[in-house]
Amino acid sequence: MANGSYILEILNSNLCRMVVSGYKKSLVEEDLWNLNQEDRSQHVVPKFEANWNKEMLNSQRYVQFNATLNHRALVFQIIQDQKPTGAL
């Protein structure tokens, strides 16, 4: 059996049991499996928020940089349009 099939079989068997259990009765917290400590929201959310804030800051810098470039390009175009086109 290939690794992908093996992993899918394990996930499907756990998922299947939970689906059947949820069909027969409403699921309660005890029906769910325990998460590893590093997979719990207390550990995941602060890391996510730190990375999200970093990306948002980078995004804002990118937008500001683009605005500066667009402004400079516009000023350059205005200057070019004001130059005389021919020699007398």
User: What pLDDT sits at residue 86?
Assistant: 60
For the beta carbon of residue 2, count every other beta carbon within 10 angstroms: 7
Question: pLDDT (tens digit, 9 = 90+) per residue, 59-69?
Answer: 888 888 888 88
Residues whose CB is less than 8 angstroms from the CB of residue 12 and which lie 6 or more positions away in sequence, other chains included: none
33 domain residue, yes or no: no
For residue 64, tell me if it sits in a domain. Answer: yes
Residue 65 lies in a domain: yes
**Is residue 19 domain-resident?**
no
Which of 19-23, 39-43, 72-76, 84-88 is most confident? 39-43
Q: Give pLDDT, residue 85.
A: 63
Flag whether 8 is in a domain.
Answer: no
Q: Is 29 within a domain?
A: no
Number of domains, the chain: 1
